[in-house]
Amino acid sequence: MSGLDIDPRDRGIIQAAPMFSGLPGAVLDTLLAQSELQVRPKRTTLFEQDEPASTFYVVMEGWVKLFRMTTGGDEAVVGVFTRGDSIAEVPCLAGGNYPVSGETVTDVRLLAVPTRKIMELNRSSPEIGLAMLASTSAHLRRLVDQIEELKARTGPQRLAAFLVDLAPTARGACTIALPYEKLLIAGRLGMKPESLSRAFQRLRALGVRINQNTVAVGDIARLAEFAGRERVMAFKCPAFRAGCSSFL
């Protein structure tokens, strides 16, 4: 596949990814010529934890989860990624193993970039190394945000923030289609499935109603305001004073 085979919309998605945003056009074209656009169905394993990192990906459409298996055999969700997100470039470019497993949670389109080709290109184009630093920094910021979210927000606040991110509008009423199954949403938000159900129940006081895989929100701005409050403010919210011990 040559760079010219990528339509403008796809190219825009690729160029916006931290790994590629700082690359000169000629370097990007050379890299894309060595890459492949792939279509993968739901529940396809892209790579497994501890195997040699040979390919990294940019998600063009759909959702991909990264996870680790605990010593007890449970699946710990590290993150869920969608359009414009890059996956596993750090272990690939560092020459290591995948620290997590990657699996599609919907049908997806992906840009697959082979490690060997990009390492060869890195020797003649030092911009690749700078792009790797930018991408690593972006992942670190995302990880810090995720830790802050888990530490500083209650379960209902984390769910509210998740819904706000998916909302098609910033104000007024809207309907949100959940992008993947509730079990994975719970894992993404650091909850048990039963805790997710309780969080949805608590958000009813803010005009949130769930019906199978869609969520109706009476006022997305009100939900965003609640999601952004500090933990102590959530406990002071009149709608949530009753039963506040069940927030966690």
Residues 109 and 23 in one domain: yes
Residues 116 and 167 in one domain: no
Residues 126 and 170 in one domain: no
Residues 6+ apart with CB under 8 A from 164: 220, 223, 224, 227
Residues 23 and 138 in one domain: yes
**Which pLDDT score is estimated for 18?**
77
Whether the Cβ atoms of residue 101 and residue 115 lie closer than 8 Å to each other:
no
Residue-range definition of the domain harbouring residue 96? 3-150
**Which pLDDT score is estimated for 109?**
97
Per-residue pLDDT of the chain (248 residues; tens, 9 = 90+): 444 468 889 999 998 887 787 777 887 888 888 899 999 999 999 999 999 999 999 999 999 999 998 888 778 888 899 999 989 888 887 778 999 999 999 999 999 998 877 777 666 666 666 666 666 666 666 666 666 666 668 999 999 999 999 999 999 999 999 999 999 999 889 889 999 999 999 999 999 999 989 999 999 999 999 998 534 343 344 443 343 333 33
**Which pLDDT score is estimated for 134?**
64
At 102, which CATH number? 2.60.120.10
- Separation of first and last alpha carbons in the chain: 50
User: Of the residues 133, 150, 167, which one is the last residue of a structural domain?
Assistant: 150
**Which pLDDT score is estimated for 231?**
40
Number of domains in the chain: 2
Residues 145 and 56 in one domain: yes
User: Of the residues 98, 115, 150, which one is the last residue of a structural domain?
Assistant: 150
Residues 135 and 16 in one domain: yes
**Which pLDDT score is estimated for 78?**
87
Long-range interactions of 115-122: CB distance < 8 A, separation 24+: 115/53, 115/54, 115/55, 115/56, 116/54, 117/31, 117/34, 117/35, 118/31, 118/34, 118/92, 118/93, 119/93, 119/95, 121/27, 121/30, 121/31, 121/34, 122/93
Residues 110 and 174 in one domain: no
Residues 128 and 194 in one domain: no
User: Of the residues 122, 150, 178, which one is the last residue of a structural domain?
Assistant: 150
Residues 140 and 157 in one domain: no
Residues 226 and 134 in one domain: no
Which residue is it, tokens 């080709």?
117
Residues 104 and 189 in one domain: no
At 221, which CATH number? 1.10.10.10
**Which pLDDT score is estimated for 135?**
62
Residues 98 and 54 in one domain: yes
Whether the Cβ atoms of residue 162 and residue 62 lie closer than 8 Å to each other:
no
pTM for the model stands at 0.75
